[in-house]
Amino acid sequence: MSYELKNDRYLRALAKQPVDRTPIWMMRQAGRYLPEYRQVRGQAGDFMSLCRNAELACEVTLQPLRRYPLDAAILFSDILTIPDAMGLGLYFEQGEGPRFERPIRDAKAVEKLGIPDPEDELGYVMRAVSTIRRELKGEVPLIGFSGSPWTLATYMVEGGSTKNFSVVKSMLYREPKVMHQLLDKLAQSVTSYLNAQIANGAQSVMIFDTWGGVLSPRDYQEFSLRYMAQIVDGLTRENEGRKVPVTLFTKNGGQWLELMAATGCDALGVDWTTNIGDARRRVGDQVALQGNMDPSVLYASPERIREEVQTILESFGSGTGHVFNLGHGIHPEVDPAHAEAFIQAVTELSSAFHK
């Protein structure tokens, strides 16, 4: 990993150091909205085969960087790699999303779960990380990631995607001890998984708490935030002579930003339901902020997209500590030309906020 980092704008913004313009990357930037991604996915056969092939995972990670002047690459993988490595039998139903053959429904099933060895059961992810890092040749930093313990638990207990979270919430209320055992195992697993990604070349890591926002405030602190804080405490925070920043993102978690900032993370992802200027006033200089344009704005005209970018930049205001992103992943139906207009708007308009 001897390449000097040519563009460290993203890492500097996370450290709240001065930058010439606001850095930008997009959640799900390597994905279904790109025709070249769909071609490689077809070549791989299915989604998990694509994740397990280091060369193909590297190829799709680099695709958006060839099209757009992005300031970071994010590992192409899935949040369900850990439950899969725990032996739950992950598969994907056409149009239904992820499913598990053996969902976790009782204390006995939780007890049986082992902590996966990231270099063994999840070795394919580490091979992808080191391959991508090598092929990036220091152009931009590489972001590693994981799902949060609570988010992973929702899929593991429900057996797949859910709209009302009835199975996982009934376990939480009826058998909180069992839920805590499960979450603790997942926190240990996520910590070792992310540390292995860092050891293999990830220069920043992000924890996606997709479903934290479905919890009540008290339950969020007890069953989601507590375990993310545990992970933050256990992460390698410096590697290759440089700080490794950690970003926490709870979708629909705007009401808990102060609590999230208190975990000791470096940055918070903010979705579009929170005004980024308000978020900045609330957390002050404690953490950097990432976000937060509504992905649906990308269906609009390039002029309207540019307007929205300007509004968000003005809301955040001058100075560093902002990484521009969508408030969630880019939608598969978005025209790549609209993604380009978005990225171009950020790169052109944001320098005025960094004088």
Q: What is the pLDDT of residue 95?
A: 73
Mean of pLDDT values over 299-309: 98
Q: Is residue 9 flagged as an active site residue? A: no
Q: Which domains, and CATH codes, for the chain?
A: 4-29+270-355 (no CATH), 45-67+72-252 (3.20.20.210)
Q: Is residue 41 flagged as an active site residue? A: yes
Q: Find the catalytic residue in 9, 41, 52, 280.
A: 41
User: Residue 142 burial (CB < 10 Å; 0-12/13-18/19+)?
Assistant: buried
Judge whether 246 and 184 are in contact, CB under 8 Å.
no
Mean of pLDDT values over 128-146: 98
Burial 302-324 (b: 16+ CB within 10 A, else e): beebbebbeebbeebeeebbbbb
Q: Is residue 335 flagged as an active site residue? A: no
Mean of pLDDT values over 1-9: 83
Mean of pLDDT values over 295-314: 98
Residue 97 region by backbone torsions, left for phi larger than 0, else alpha for psi between -120 and 50, else beta: left
Q: What is the pLDDT of residue 3?
A: 72
Q: Find the catalytic residue in 32, 105, 226, 304.
A: 32
Q: What is the pLDDT of residues 79-135, one digit of tens each?
A: 999 999 999 999 987 777 899 999 999 999 999 999 999 999 999 999 999 999 999
Q: What is the pLDDT of residue 96?
A: 74
Mean of pLDDT values over 238-257: 97
Q: Find the catalytic residue in 8, 71, 78, 271.
A: 78
Q: Find the catalytic residue in 33, 37, 68, 155.
A: 155
Q: What is the pLDDT of residue 245?
A: 98
Q: What is the pLDDT of residue 57?
A: 98
Q: Can you say which residues are annotated as belonging to the binding site for substrate?
A: 28-32, 78, 155, 210, 328
Q: Is residue 32 flagged as an active site residue? A: yes
Q: Can you say which residues are annotated as belonging to the binding site?
A: 28-32, 78, 155, 210, 328
Q: Find the catalytic residue in 9, 12, 21, 28.
A: 28
Q: What is the pLDDT of residues 45-65, one digit of tens each?
A: 999 999 999 999 999 999 999
Q: What is the pLDDT of residues 162-194, one digit of tens each?
A: 999 999 999 999 999 999 999 999 999 999 999
Checking if the pLDDT of 1 tops 60, the result is: no
Q: What is the pLDDT of residue 93?
A: 76
Judge whether 62 and 73 are in contact, CB under 8 Å.
yes
Q: Kindly give the pairing relationship between strand 142-147 and strand 204-209.
A: parallel
| Banded model confidence at residue 10, pLDDT cuts 50, 70, 90 | very high
